[in-house]
Chain A
Amino acid sequence: MATSAATELDTPLTIAGRTFRSRLMVGTGKYRSNSLMGAALDASGAEIVTVAVRRVDLDRSKEEGILYHLDTAKYFLLANTAGCYSAEDAIRYARLAREAGFNEFIKLEVIGDQPTLLPDTEGLLQAAKALVAEGFAVMAYTNDDLVTALRLEDLGCAAVMPLASPIGSGLGLVNPYTVRTIKQRLACPVIVDAGVGTASDACITMEQGVDGILMNTALAEARDPVRMATAMRLAVEAGREAFLAGRMPRREIAVPSSPTTGLLD
């Protein structure tokens, strides 16, 4: 049997023609301080970081804007449409985000239910179609439904982002089968967005073969966000490597690891 010491290199993650080094993407919300956020982002190794569009608070200093605390030469800003409950609102927010002048990427969220923050797939498809036509690179946050994922891809989305579990829940990957199926059936990048709670969740998610993970609360609400960011970076890499390595088959009987011959009488 031929052996090879060198392991083949992974192909880089490319979304809408742009290549990224890291498969871990992180949010910038809910950190206890901006300096803690900066340190966590750095430890995560992430290149893509998400931001939200909101009114300027005219009663407060301009320093509340996230751009005063992020090195935009170092990070690729991915604006989201978080908080939008209709296609119309999401399109409005996406246009405002693009006007900020960074890039044409948008993480599209159209929420259909307040307690679970689950997507309104009808509104999502409608907004995705309109934004793709306007030249946006749409990364669509969706539930783990294959048919919706296929339709988002058909509409020309740059990436499809099924959830692991609800936003901010930390419940981990509740249905590996559906996420794996989506990844197997789509040609565009599949990035799992939302629900990852700790490093093992990230590792198991990457083992399904998906192209990357986006997370926020798992870092921001960890007791030590910087340490958790390090754990997530390693977990995403470990899960990716394990996927590429190809796991052994599962068996319901034991198979000895040591020779069964040469045993003493």
Chain B
Amino acid sequence: MSDAGMITVNGRARPLEAPTSLLRLLEQLALDPRAVVVELNREIVRRPQLADTRVQPGDQLELVHFVGGG
């Protein structure tokens, strides 16, 4: 399987080095979980669930926040 051990974060492929939670992944990316909203395979994962949600090979993640806009 070519995508074994890979995840996609904000459109970019990234190796999944070890089994981890969404909260741990945010920490690895140096992101404050209070300032980011996480979408996992098109479903929003609410903040209290981040620690208990596992990241699996092949997962598609979107990490969004607020930026300046009209």
**Which residues of A come within 8 Å of B, CB atoms?**
27-31, 37, 50-56, 58, 62, 64-68, 77, 79-80, 82, 92, 95-97, 99-101, 167-168, 194, 214-217
Contact = CB atoms under 8 A, between A and B. Distances in A.
A50 B66 CA distance: 10
A66 B44 contact: no
B35 interface: yes
Given A56-B31, A100-B37, A77 B10 contact: no
A134 to B, nearest CB: 12
Nearest to A51: B66
Given A52-B69, A100-B37, A216-B69, 6 more contacts: A27-B68, A30-B68, A52-B66, A55-B10, A56-B36, A58-B12
Interface string B23-42: 00000011110011101001
B31 A53 contact: no
Given A96-B44, A99-B37, A37 B68 contact: yes
A28 B69 contact: yes
Nearest to A68: B35
Contact of B65 (A37, A67, A167, A215): A67
Contacts of B69: 27-29, 50-52, 80, 82, 216
